[in-house]
Structure 1
Amino acid sequence: MRLVSSSATLAFILLLYCCHLILGQKSDSALTLVENTEGGGRGEGGNDDDEEEMTVDEDEGDLEVVQPTEEWQTLKPGQAVPTGAHVRLNLQTGQREVRLGEEQLKYWTHGHRDKEEIQTLFSPDELKQAMKKIKEDLNSVSTDQQDSVVSKYRPLEELKRHMAQLELLVETDAQIMKRMLEQLNSSKLSTEQRLNVLLELEYLVHQVDNAQTLCSMGGLQFILQGLNSSDFRLQESSAFVLGSAVASNPVVQVKVVESGALQMLLTILATTQPVRVKKKVLFAVASLLRHFPYAQHYFLSHGGLQVLSELFRADGGGVLRTRIVTMLYDMISEKERITQAGLDPMLDASHEERVHQSSKVTLQGELLEKGWCSLVPQLLESTEHDCREKALQALLAMANVCLEQYHSDSFLLGSLLSLRDQYEEMILSEMIPGEENSYFAEIVELIDALQIKIK
């Protein structure tokens, strides 16, 4: 505090006492005079006021608590000051003034002002009035409007009754297949109706469990009856159902082989039948042989390769050739994988039996004996890229057995040179910046690999 004369000090104390009487405080408040740090003094643009920090020990329930701001504001009689606020006595007006303290000023300057203002935007009484208004608005909705809304929705009990009725109409897949087999067993069913039933069965047996359930119900005999039918449409549909049922389904594969269906399929391939029937029969045979060495052994021992070779030669249009060569390639690749894996103890328990069954499949010798080393290269004449690709894959897989015949096959050697030049031109003409590999490049790689084998 600045040093003043003794007379000035006495006058100042008397002035404080008079102001205290005028303001009429209800309780004893402690006033502490502090040094005025704002503005640096009178001569430096500061006010002629001394700042004081006041501690108020008054009951806030009896007094109105002032809400200080950043600016000095006059403290009215009967108002209490919150903790932390700064209070000063203005010597010019003789009134007390209040503003936020230093810590509160920091809090407000860090972006809390808007939040505080939003929180205090509505008083509790205003909120109560708003809630009361909402209830009144809801109650004011007319009865007609309520009835209109209710009429759009059915009561819950009515919905439950309808759902209960719908559940009576729901059938499991097993129930559907049982009903279909009963229809197939009926002599009154027309051919068109039988075809529709077989079409629905084909859709269902894609699921492994459904195919096994169908066999346990005796459904296999109805499929075999269709294969043995004189109507080629029933043969086609029955072969389609059979192929879908045995695909990746070992349980059904075993039952189909035990039923003698494989021999029936080979008979259809060996006899005069429409191409559309033989396509579906080849599909069924390929699905039955895949990952099933026992069926492959049965297929070879019953002249399967001989049947396929005759079918290959008779297929002038080339519709069936690609399917046949793909089937052979799958069988060769699968046998090689099983042979290379050997008796690996880390594999499943059934692997040992699979290796044992695969050892009985004398596929390589059968291919050489039945003339496949000269038959497969004929597929390179096709204009379809997919057919050429399948032929090249099969030729590579057969190279260990057919290598001597490859050396003397002028057609094969000439076809490989011609195809390589053709696909090289396609690669250059369809080259896309940033793409190094393409479908045609993969075919060139197959040609190169086969040429290396032959050399």
Structure 2
Amino acid sequence: MRFISSQFGGASFSCLTLFVLLLLHFCHIVSIVGQKSDGALTVVENPDGGERVGGAEEEVTVDDDDDDDEGDLEVVQPTEQWQTLKPSHAVPAGSRVRLNLQTGEREVRLGDEQLKYWTQEHREKEETQSSFSPDELKRAMKKIKEDLNPASKDTQRQDSVESKYRPLEELKRDMAQLDLLVETDVQIMRRLLDQFNSSNSTTEQKMSILLELEYLVHQVDNAQSLCSMGGLQFILEGLNSSDFRLQESSAFVLGSALASNPVVQVKAVESGALQTLLTTLATAQPLRVKKKVLFAVASLLRHFPYAQRHFLSHGGLQVLSDLFREDGGGILRKRIVTMLYDMISEKELISQVGLDSVLDAAHQERVRQYSKVSLQGELFEKGWCSLVPQLLESTEHDYREKALRALLAMAPVCLDQYRSNGSLLDSLLSLRDQYQEMVQSEITLGEENGYFAEIVQLIDALHVKMK
């Protein structure tokens, strides 16, 4: 019995001891789990599958289930680089945290899922956006306002142009130091006139001077300046020269200066240029001289009724009639007929516009001056009703066109002579048949209203008037 009791007591004591030890161990585990430890980390496997250098760090992942009972912690925004964590720092869920075993400090960076969206393009964009300072933004806004302001653009463009070019006076000073001379057109013309009037100038030099003057007087101001400095007298002296080359060049300069320049036209008439030109046409001259003189006469008479009246009173039509009969080639005939047609047309145009009673006083004065030019009557008296039809005999289409237009313009005073001129009617019928074939060729080529069709219309219009 004692043996059994002894045995039973020993076994009871051993079980009790084991139970107490297990209870103490469980309580210890519970106390450990219940405590919040800053160093509690979850060890993860190295994703590279290799050993770390020195085995000095371990990584953990912070989950959404972690306790966040300390509201006063400072939240750190992780990046793709490892950052050191202080005990007072907290990190967002999904971040990766590791314990650096060498330094004993915790470090954090973005988690794997977060790194997927942290691309190189995203980083560059954020760096660019964050690189603008307030001053740079102000300058950019100011630049936008300036671009939207046209006045500012014009000012900047003008300043840019002015910065590229230097003033003329400054250039003159610099060139004077380089022994260079900048001449204006007026200075050039004055120098040319002095050389032209010099007794040492040869004929070739004078012809070269006249050529340069002809180029300059195409500008209205230059032509007027040439007259004011006495250049018109030198040109008229060249017309009276015995050298045909100087006559031709002088007439060319005069015609260019007179073209569409009323101031020069008035001064030319006052200087006796019209008489000089008519005298040159009436005397024996080479064809090239007469062509240039006719050009000067046409420039003087165009849109200038005062000069036209003097032209008629000084026998201008008679001079042209003689010249028309002498010309065998037709080049002078065409120019004469064209000039007469222009004079008739501009007078009719002025007269038609003059029917308006609200026109200004200047235009009414022009109408009054044109009324004193009896060009149509002079043409009838000088025999032009039979002279102009002779130009239809030319083989040149341009010559025929000019003749038809002049015949139509002269029809009010020459119609009776047209009807009595049998050769004129025959010429019109022959020309119509000829040009009608040419019109068909134009239509075949796709030109319904071509040049030859226009000539046919002129022939038909004249033929209707003669019926």
For normalisation by structure 1, the TM-score amounts to 0.69
State percent identity of aligned pairs. Answer: 69
Q: CA 1:117–1:336 in 2, change beyond 3 Å: closer, same or farther?
A: farther
Q: CA 1:16–1:384 in 2, change beyond 3 Å: closer, same or farther?
A: farther
Amino acid paired to 1:169: L
Map of 1:153 onto structure 2: none
Q: Give the gaps of 5 or more residues in structure 2.
A: 1-32, 43-62, 97-108, 132-170
Q: Does 1:441 align with 2:453?
A: yes
Instruction: Give runs of aligned pairs for residues 337-356 of structure 1, distance below 5 A.
Output: 337-342=349-354, 344=356, 346-356=358-368
| The one of 154, 166, 177 aligned to 2:189 | 177
Map of 2:332 onto structure 1: 320
Map of 1:215 onto structure 2: 227
Q: CA 1:310–1:124 in 2, change beyond 3 Å: closer, same or farther?
A: same
Q: CA 1:224–1:161 in 2, change beyond 3 Å: closer, same or farther?
A: closer
CA distance in 1, matches of 2:442, 2:190: 55
Is the contact between residue 244 and residue 286 of structure 2 (CA under 8 Å) also seen in structure 1? yes
How well do the aligned residues superpose, as a CA RMSD in angstroms?
Answer: 3.8
Is the contact between residue 73 and residue 90 of structure 2 (CA under 8 Å) also seen in structure 1? no
Q: Deviation of residue 429 (structure 1)?
A: 2.3
Instruction: Give runs of aligned pairs for residues 329-344 of structure 1, distance below 5 A.
Output: 329-342=341-354, 344=356
In structure 2, the residue corresponding to 1:277 is in which secondary structure?
A: helix
Q: CA 1:239–1:99 in 2, change beyond 3 Å: closer, same or farther?
A: same
Q: CA 1:17–1:195 in 2, change beyond 3 Å: closer, same or farther?
A: farther
CA distance in 2, matches of 1:318, 1:326: 12
Amino acid paired to 2:186: A
Q: Give the gaps of 5 or more residues in structure 1.
A: 1-14, 25-48, 68-74, 82-86, 126-158
Amino acid paired to 2:340: L
Q: CA 1:394–1:18 in 2, change beyond 3 Å: closer, same or farther?
A: farther
The size of the alignment, in residue pairs, is 357
CA distance in 1, matches of 2:172, 2:243: 49
Q: Does 1:195 align with 2:196?
A: no
Is the contact between residue 343 and residue 355 of structure 1 (CA under 8 Å) also seen in structure 2? no
| The one of 282, 293, 298 aligned to 2:294 | 282
Q: Which has the larger radius of gyration?
A: 2
Amino acid paired to 2:341: Y
Q: CA 1:187–1:120 in 2, change beyond 3 Å: closer, same or farther?
A: same
Map of 2:428 onto structure 1: 416
In structure 2, the residue corresponding to 1:441 is in which secondary structure?
A: helix
CA deviations 1:82-115 (Å, max 9, x no partner) are xxxxx6799xxxx996868xxxx9xx9xxxx997
Map of 2:255 onto structure 1: 243
CA distance in 2, matches of 1:449, 1:301: 33
Is the contact between residue 343 and residue 352 of structure 1 (CA under 8 Å) also seen in structure 2? no
Is the contact between residue 321 and residue 379 of structure 1 (CA under 8 Å) also seen in structure 2? yes
CA deviations 1:186-220 (Å, max 9, x no partner) are 11211111111111111111111111111110111
Is the contact between residue 214 and residue 220 of structure 1 (CA under 8 Å) also seen in structure 2? yes
Q: Deviation of residue 230 (structure 1)?
A: 1.0
CA distance in 1, matches of 2:310, 2:205: 35
In structure 1, the residue corresponding to 2:443 is in which secondary structure?
A: coil
Amino acid paired to 2:449: N
Q: CA 1:397–1:122 in 2, change beyond 3 Å: closer, same or farther?
A: same
CA distance in 1, matches of 2:121, 2:465: 81
Instruction: Give runs of aligned pairs for residues 48-87 of structure 1, distance below 5 A.
Output: 63-66=76-79
CA distance in 2, matches of 1:160, 1:173: 15
CA distance in 1, matches of 2:357, 2:37: 104
Map of 2:243 onto structure 1: 231
Q: Deviation of residue 436 (structure 1)?
A: 2.5
CA distance in 2, matches of 1:337, 1:231: 41
For normalisation by structure 2, the TM-score amounts to 0.67
Q: Does 1:119 align with 2:125?
A: yes
Q: CA 1:79–1:383 in 2, change beyond 3 Å: closer, same or farther?
A: farther
Q: Deviation of residue 428 (structure 1)?
A: 2.1
CA distance in 2, matches of 1:166, 1:348: 55
CA distance in 2, matches of 1:160, 1:235: 38
Q: CA 1:445–1:277 in 2, change beyond 3 Å: closer, same or farther?
A: same
Q: CA 1:400–1:80 in 2, change beyond 3 Å: closer, same or farther?
A: farther
Is the contact between residue 239 and residue 250 of structure 2 (CA under 8 Å) also seen in structure 1? yes
CA deviations 1:205-255 (Å, max 9, x no partner) are 111111111111011110111111111111111111111111100011001
